Structure 1
Amino acid sequence: MTVDEFRTLALSLPLSIEKPHFERASFRVDAPRGKTIATLLDSNATANVFLSPEEQDILIGADPSVFSKVPNKWGDKGATTLQLANCDETTALSALKMSWRHAAPPKHHSLLE
């Protein structure tokens, strides 16, 4: 998967917008109390999504060539890196949807299929 393909997927989620976040692009839920869905670092073709620690463990266990824990305190809370070169669209979209559910206010959850 390319950086541009990931960007397109992230922006396809309901209420998703792109904003700068330091050296990364961030994708956020554009709603009151909406949070970050993912960040994207073009220079090394990685993205971070924000999952529960349990979801993180499941994804890393299922495919450690794609998923890894962010090596800091955010990783302990579920922040998970995707190696885009090893990731297909279905896998990336699944991870993005998991992250979106954590980022979106509950009243918007019905917007996601």
Structure 2
Amino acid sequence: MISLPKLRKLALSFPGTTEEPHFEKISFRVNKKIFVTYDSKNNRACFKLSLSDQDLFSLYDETIVYAVPNKWGNYGWTFVELRTVRKNVLKSIIKAAYKQVAI
């Protein structure tokens, strides 16, 4: 299981990343743009991925990594269930999200 402290450590390891509130969630940003949010109520993170990365990571397990089930999913926003995702998979997802937003 990935906890908030582990997610925070991973997110803040990227250059220029800040942690800021986003409504009732925590967000991690680069260049003032969100690349991941954390929902403590559901222990779930939401990442900004390219559509091709979203498709690729969803192949891992669609019950763990999946498009947000509304129009935001069509823009690459992707839920990751932190209770069940493996740390190495999460590392790859967060790196892809950071690159998507930082560039």
Q: TM-score, normalised by structure 1?
A: 0.84
Q: Identity, % of aligned pairs?
A: 35
Q: Which residue of 1 aligns with 2:97?
A: 99
- Correspondences of 1:49-88 after superposition (within 5 Å): 49-88=47-86
Q: Which residue of 2 aligns with 1:38?
A: 36
Q: Please, which moves more after superposition, 61-70 or 20-29? A: 61-70
Q: What is the alpha-carbon root mean square deviation over aligned residues?
A: 1.2
Whichever of the two has the greater Rg, that structure is: 1
Deviation, 1:6, is: 1.1
Bigger helix share: 1
Q: TM-score, normalised by structure 2?
A: 0.91
Q: 2: CA distance between counterparts of 1:18 and 1:60?
A: 26
- What code does the residue aligned with 1:43 have? K
Q: Which residue of 2 aligns with 1:4?
A: 5
Deviation, 1:13, is: 1.4
Q: Which residue of 1 aligns with 2:23?
A: 22
- Classify the secondary structure of the residue corresponding to 2:15: coil
Structure 1 unaligned residues grouped into runs of 5+: 106-113
Q: 2: CA distance between counterparts of 1:70 and 1:62?
A: 16
Q: Matched residue pairs, number? A: 102
